[in-house]
């Protein structure tokens, strides 16, 4: 290309050098121009009413799932509390003083039942937890 520029008249060579100097950073083809230009941010359209409805339905479904999980946790918690209450009641009944103490105990201490008498007959529970 430099040979073809030398064949031109001096005014034309000066003009071409001036154009090349000022526009030297620009790409040579339109394809290169498209690549060289910085990409503009994509145009974001505002969400439509249908987009809002779809998003709300997704949020409602997520909330229903969370409420279901919380309900299951609350039911499990109440079952545990009920079972612990039943167990505490049974243990309390085991340590209640019996109304008919054994005769050997009366020989040792008059009037008070022994600690081990509560274990002679454990209460039978018919309840399932």
pLDDT tens digits, one per residue of 92-109: 888 886 655 555 544 555
Determine the pLDDT at residue 43: 83
The answer to whether residue 31 scores a pLDDT higher than 80 is: no
User: Who's near 26: CB < 8 A, 6+ residues apart?
Assistant: 33, 36
Determine the pLDDT at residue 94: 85
Query: Where on the phi/psi map is residue 12: left (φ > 0), alpha (ψ -120 to 50), or beta?
Result: alpha
Determine the pLDDT at residue 15: 82
For the chain, the average pLDDT equals: 77
The answer to whether residue 29 scores a pLDDT higher than 80 is: no
pTM for this one? 0.38
Determine the pLDDT at residue 34: 59
Between 105 and 40, the more confident residue is 40
Rounded Cα distance, 19 and 25, in Å: 11
Tokens of 51: 């987009």
């Amino acid at each position: 290309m430099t040979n073809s520029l030398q064949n031109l008249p001096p005014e034309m060579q000066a003009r071409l050098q001036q154009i090349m100097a000022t526009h030297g950073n620009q790409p040579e083809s339109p394809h290169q121009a498209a690549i060289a230009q910085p990409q503009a941010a994509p145009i974001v359209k505002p969400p439509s009413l249908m987009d809002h409805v779809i998003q709300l339905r997704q949020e409602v479904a997520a909330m229903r799932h969370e409420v279901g999980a919380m309900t299951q946790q609350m039911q499990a918690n109440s079952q545990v509390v009920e079972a612990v209450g039943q167990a505490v009641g049974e243990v309390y009944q085991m340590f209640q003083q019996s109304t008919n103490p054994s005769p050997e105990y009366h020989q040792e201490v008059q009037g008070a039942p022994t600690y081990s008498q509560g274990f002679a007959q454990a209460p039978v529970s018919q309840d399932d937890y």
